[in-house]
Amino acid sequence: MQRASEIRSDWFRRATRLFETYDVIALPSAQMWPFDVNWIFPEEIAGVAVDTYHRWMQVVVPAGLIGLPVVNIPVGFGENGLPAGIQLIGPRGSDGKLLQLAQQWHGATGWPQKRPAMA
């Protein structure tokens, strides 16, 4: 437990330093495009075997683990018509600013209204 707490604290310190230079960190919301509804979880991602359900979305864990605010926004659609998004991560206490940014994105892009025919 002690080692895990030290690692978490180190992540938080590093993120805090990043926010000295950047207002927001943008990362994918998942490691892959949405997958077939009949799958329990993907068996591999980019040729790497997946051992649990959570691997396809593990990129969302670090920000939540260190208590940073996150908002997910749509950014487009894959060849099969399924949506993809990114997560915007802000420094501690920036919840309101992140929500405003997401609302501005929504207004500027209209992504929710751009639903292509699904393959």
CA-CA distance, 8 to 11, in Å (whole number)? 5
DSSP 3-state of 44? strand
pTM of the complete model:
0.84
Give me the tens of pLDDT residue by residue for the chain, a chain 119 residues long. Answer: 899 899 999 999 999 999 999 999 999 998 888 888 898 888 998 899 988 888 888 888 889 989 999 999 998 888 878 888 999 999 999 999 999 999 999 999 887 777 776 65
Where b means 16+ CB within 10 Å and e means fewer, 12-37 reads beebeeebeeeebbeeebbbbeebee
For 11, other C-beta atoms within 10 Å of its C-beta total 15
Antiparallel, parallel or unpaired: β 25-28 and 83-89: antiparallel
Q: What is the pLDDT of residue 119?
A: 57
